[in-house]
Amino acid sequence: MRPLIRLLLLCLTILLTTSPRGAVAPAASSPRSVIVFLPDDPTTPAMAAVAAGLKAAVQAGWPGLLTFHFESLDASWFSSPQYHERLRELYRLKYRGYRPDAIVALRSDVVGILLAVHRDLWPGVPLVFVAEDQRDLARLPRAPDLSGVWLDWEVHRTLELALQLLPRTRRVALLMGGSSWERSLYPAVDEALARFAGRLAIIDLRGLPLAELERRLAALPNDAIVFLHTLMADGEGRGIVGLELFRRLRANLHRPVFTVHGQALGHGIVGGAMVSYDRLGRDLGGMVLGWLRGAPPQPAVRAADVGELAFDARELARFRIPAARLPRSAAVLFREPSLWIRYRWQASVVLAVGALQAVLITMLLIEQQRRARAQAQAQRAELEARRMLSELAHLNRVAVAGQLGSSFAHELNQPLAAILNNARAARRLLDGPAPDVTEAQAALDDIAADDKRAAEVIQRMRGLLRRSEVRRERHDLSELARAVVRLLENDARLRGAALVLEPAPGPLPVRGDATLLQQVALNLITNALDAVAAVPQPRRRVTVRTARDGQRVTLLVEDSGRGSAEPDLERLFQPFFTTKPDGLGLGLSICRSIIEAHGGRLWAAPAPEGGLVMSCALPGDSKEERE
Amino acid sequence: MTTPGAKIFIVDDDASVRRSLERLLRCAGYAVETFDTPRAFLAIARSLGAGCVVVDVRMPELSGLELQAGLAAAGCTLPLVFITGHGDVTESVKAMKGGAIDFLLKPVDDAQLLDAVGRALQRDARARATQTEREALAARLALLTPREREVCANVARGLLNKEIGFELGISEKTVKLHRARATEKLGVRSAVELSNLLAQLRHLGTN
């Protein structure tokens, strides 16, 4: 154990004291410069990626100051020998006396243009180059200050991959520009395609004018794929920016596209064996850094370490290419994260909320169902109770009506008798030789009045006997009491009792069933009339009062009788409790049921003058102002 | 036969019934006076003249039957015609026993009512005539001396003068004298007439 720790400490010490930064520190004191010669528009994705990768790699490895000069030669679009000569003159003029620490030249044609300048101005300055084809290297001189890489656009491998992914492919459309540099690449492409002879028919769209290209692309058959190479100029020599053009072409292109240019991935390309231009830049940067550090790259010329199998997941999905067909080393980019992955958090919340809601809704539904059932049950019970109450109330009214029968008969007989008398009298008055018309008319008027009176009596009787559904309507308690008092006035008179109504000033709105409420009053008053029969006539007095008591309205029936022999007044309200020889003992119990059904209270108390006072308190109908 | 100035007294607590009865009876030619409570009527019962009473059996304070009793107690002999809403046998029997003329069911047929009222007035008139007669007799009887009254009473019993004299312990001659004076005072000519008169008096309830 102890020797191991000692070994680790030793290693750590060595590492700390021999860091490369410490080794190159003296060289870093003076600024270094690098001139980079780019063939084309430095803002195109491939160029920009190379330049950025290169710069980043050098800067990352070099501690001192660095200057980068970028020269773009526009070589794809301008390629005349005169132009190349003038360029060389320009550089000789521009960089006379300027000695960079490294030169980078991209692409074989650029290297070709620059070699003379390099020889003239900067002998001994390392030139790092990129050749697009190994074969181009043959044309390059062997010199100690030259080092570089060659690109391998793996057209063949890419097409093999395409066939592997889409086995039904029978044709390949070649999409490529028509610039002179590009034309110089055609043979290499043809060579690669030659290996597919018999397996793939070639639809050669290379160097076509734009319009035709678009048309041909749109009309591709279903067993075709597209191989995209460079797009620097169309068949008429017009300079084009490859990716921008491709994006436009892609809109009407319905077949899968493969390419070897990494920078195109993500723009509607299925994938391929790609050149990563960023990695190319870094590779070059590494070589430059080697030169700056005084350690020339070994070997001086090699293949660029830039290839990668890369695919666009969206395109794979679009053409229904199963992932299983991809080589294991392939990188799948632009993987469309599933909704679940992209919105995992939100989805979790939504799902949780949804689940919670579902549970809640279910609970509510169950609850509602239960409540509905309970409500229905309660409703049935209430209906039943109401029906029972209504029934009982009706029976009670019938009983009361029976008790009042002779009173009613008497009351009805009075107007009938008067009518008959008046009719006979009128007849006589008009019969004689000198008819007394005036008196006869008076008799007829009296007949009409008595007829009305009789009708009223019948009405009251009918009201009493009506077997009606329990209703909830707005009534004036005083009016209800008044009607009952009128109904019983005659009976009271015959019993020699004074029946007095003392109504509250103003209406006493109450919501309920008029028949039932009147029945309560009827019972209370007839009971009171029964009670006062026990005392001598002048003292027989029943007072009916209505009053407002805060939110409640009250009806009081006070009698001047002897009071109750039963000390517990609550017993009066028990069913079948009666003090009357022919009583059923149901009246007060029904009354209490009625009042309680109206949300009120009915109780008995001794009256100040010795009798009983029955009090009935009902909730007032507060909506009076709005109605 | 009705007494001139006879009136029909209507006692009913119901104003319209009262009025209709009054109208009916008036147009039948009767003089009518109405009372709305039995008490008001009873208060003046003693001073009432000839006529009859039409009364509702069922009234607060005092029923028709109670009124009947009250009138009798007050010595008022006015005949009563009862009107009732329902034919209560007990009530009607009581009323008739109390001397009611009729017990009519409401609504009352006018012919029945007028017939009852007519009978009531007749009875009242008859009663009043008998009363007048009895009063006249009583007045004449009042003129006799006690001895003359004793002699007359024995004459009416059919005793001879001699027997009366023996009975009273007086002479036959004295009996004759008393008898002559009494017949003169009473305006009778024979013992038969005298005896009839006395029988009549006895019948009217006066000794």
Strand partners, B179: none
Whether B88 has a pLDDT exceeding 80, the answer reads no
Question: Do residue A425 and residue B24 have CB atoms under 8 angstroms apart?
Answer: yes
pLDDT bucket at A14, cuts 50 / 70 / 90: very low
The set of residues, in sequence order, having a beta carbon less than 8 Å from that of A450 and lying 6+ positions away, is A414, A415, A416, A418, A419, A422, B16, B20
Q: Which residue of A has its CA nearest to B56?
A: A414
| Most confident listed range (A25-34, A376-385, A542-551, B124-133) | A542-551
Contacts of A541 in chain B (CB under 8 A): none
Asked if A176 reaches chain B (Cβ–Cβ under 8 Å), the answer is no
Q: Which residue of B has its CA nearest to A409?
A: B85
Whether B203 has a pLDDT exceeding 60, the answer reads yes
How distant, in Å, are the alpha carbons of A70, A473, B43, B108 from that of B68? 149, 51, 13, 20
Q: What is the tens place of the pLDDT at every residue in A454-463? A: 888 887 777 7
pLDDT bucket at A23, cuts 50 / 70 / 90: very low
Question: Do residue B23 and residue A414 have CB atoms under 8 angstroms apart?
Answer: no
The set of residues, in sequence order, having a beta carbon less than 8 Å from that of B175 and lying 6+ positions away, is B151, B161, B162, B164, B165, B168
Interface test with A, best of B24, B58, B81, B115 (most A CBs within 10 A): B24
pLDDT score for A25: 43
Write phi, then psi, for A225 (nearest 5 degrees): -120, 170
Token pair, residue A265, equals: 């991935």
Percent of chain B with pLDDT over 90: 17
In 3D space, the residue among A334, A338, A280 whose CA is nearest the CA of residue A311 turns out to be: A334
Q: Tell me how close the Cα of A562 comes to any Cα of chain B, in angstroms.
A: 20
pLDDT score for A566: 77
pLDDT score for A15: 46
- Over residues A34-63, the mean pLDDT reads 89
Q: Give dist(CA A421, CA A436) in Å, integer.
A: 16
| Strand duo A552-559 + A612-619: pairing | antiparallel
CB-based contact A323:A316 (threshold 8 Å)? yes
Asked if A416 reaches chain B (Cβ–Cβ under 8 Å), the answer is yes
Identity at A290, one-letter amino acid code: G
pLDDT score for A2: 56
Question: Do residue B85 and residue A493 have CB atoms under 8 angstroms apart?
Answer: no
Higher pLDDT, B19 or A393: B19
Question: Do residue B83 and residue A417 have CB atoms under 8 angstroms apart?
Answer: yes
Question: Do residue B107 and residue A416 have CB atoms under 8 angstroms apart?
Answer: yes
CB-based contact B168:B175 (threshold 8 Å)? yes
pLDDT score for B197: 77
The set of residues, in sequence order, having a beta carbon less than 8 Å from that of A546 and lying 6+ positions away, is A477, A478, A481, A502, A503, A504, A508, A553, A554, A555, A556
Percent of chain A with pLDDT over 90: 18
Token pair, residue B207, equals: 């000794």
Mean pLDDT taken over chain A: 83
Question: Do residue A421 and residue B86 have CB atoms under 8 angstroms apart?
Answer: no
Asked if A429 reaches chain B (Cβ–Cβ under 8 Å), the answer is yes
Contacts of B19 in chain A (CB under 8 A): 418, 446
Residue with the two structure tokens 């710069």: A55
Contacts of B109 in chain A (CB under 8 A): 420
Q: Give dist(CA A591, CA A573) in Å, integer.
A: 8
In 3D space, the residue among B27, B6, B9 whose CA is nearest the CA of residue B18 turns out to be: B9
Whether A21 has a pLDDT exceeding 50, the answer reads no
The set of residues, in sequence order, having a beta carbon less than 8 Å from that of A163 and lying 6+ positions away, is A169, A196, A199, A200
pLDDT score for A446: 92
Q: Give dist(CA A511, CA B158) in Å, integer.
A: 93
pLDDT score for A108: 86
- Nearest by CB to residue B24, choosing from A409, A421, A495, is A421
Q: What is the tens place of the pLDDT at every residue in A371-383? A: 888 878 877 777 7
- Over residues A98-109, the mean pLDDT reads 90
pLDDT score for A103: 93
Contacts of B14 in chain A (CB under 8 A): 414, 418
Q: What is the tens place of the pLDDT at every residue in A557-606? A: 999 988 887 778 888 887 777 776 666 666 787 888 888 888 889 999 98
Contacts of B27 in chain A (CB under 8 A): 425, 428-429, 436, 439
Q: Tell me how close the Cα of A518 comes to any Cα of chain B, in angstroms.
A: 25
Asked if A458 reaches chain B (Cβ–Cβ under 8 Å), the answer is no
Strand partners, A172: A202, A225
- Nearest by CB to residue B27, choosing from A406, A425, A496, is A425
| Strand duo A612-619 + A601-606: pairing | antiparallel
User: Which runs of E-coded beta strand occur in A221-333?
Assistant: 224-228, 257-259, 271-275, 301-303, 307-312, 331-333
Q: What is the tens place of the pLDDT at every residue in B54-73? A: 998 888 778 888 888 888 88
In 3D space, the residue among A587, A615, A581 whose CA is nearest the CA of residue A601 turns out to be: A615
Question: Do residue B58 and residue A409 have CB atoms under 8 angstroms apart?
Answer: no
Residue with the two structure tokens 């830039």: A306
CB-based contact A109:A87 (threshold 8 Å)? no
Interface test with B, best of A412, A414, A537, A540 (most B CBs within 10 A): A414
Angle A282-A286-A287 (CA atoms, 0-180°, nearest 5)? 120
In 3D space, the residue among B108, B100, B101, B98 whose CA is nearest the CA of residue B25 turns out to be: B108
Return the DSSP state at B109.
Answer: P
How distant, in Å, are the alpha carbons of B10, B12, B59, B204 from that of B67? 12, 11, 10, 26
Q: Tell me how close the Cα of B88 comes to any Cα of chain A, in angstroms.
A: 11
Interface test with B, best of A420, A424, A436, A491 (most B CBs within 10 A): A424
Q: Give dist(CA A502, CA A482) in Å, integer.
A: 9
Question: Do residue B20 and residue A410 have CB atoms under 8 angstroms apart?
Answer: no
CB-based contact A390:A470 (threshold 8 Å)? yes
- Nearest by CB to residue B16, choosing from A414, A425, A429, is A414
Q: Which range (A189-203, A236-250, A324-338) has the least confidence?
A: A236-250
Q: Give dist(CA A605, CA A613) in Å, integer.
A: 5
- Over residues A265-284, the mean pLDDT reads 89
- Residue A274 CA to its chain's centroid (Å): 43
CB-based contact A176:A189 (threshold 8 Å)? yes
Please give the interface size between A and B, counted as residue pairs whose CB atoms are below 8 Å apart.
84
> How many CA atoms are closer than 13 Å to the CA of A324, on its beta-carbon side?
1
pLDDT bucket at B33, cuts 50 / 70 / 90: very high
Contacts of A434 in chain B (CB under 8 A): none
Q: Give dist(CA A7, CA A14) in Å, integer.
A: 11
Which positions 534-553 of A are in contact with B (Cβ < 8 Å)? 537
Q: Give dist(CA B156, CA A111) in Å, integer.
A: 196
Higher pLDDT, A583 or A517: A517
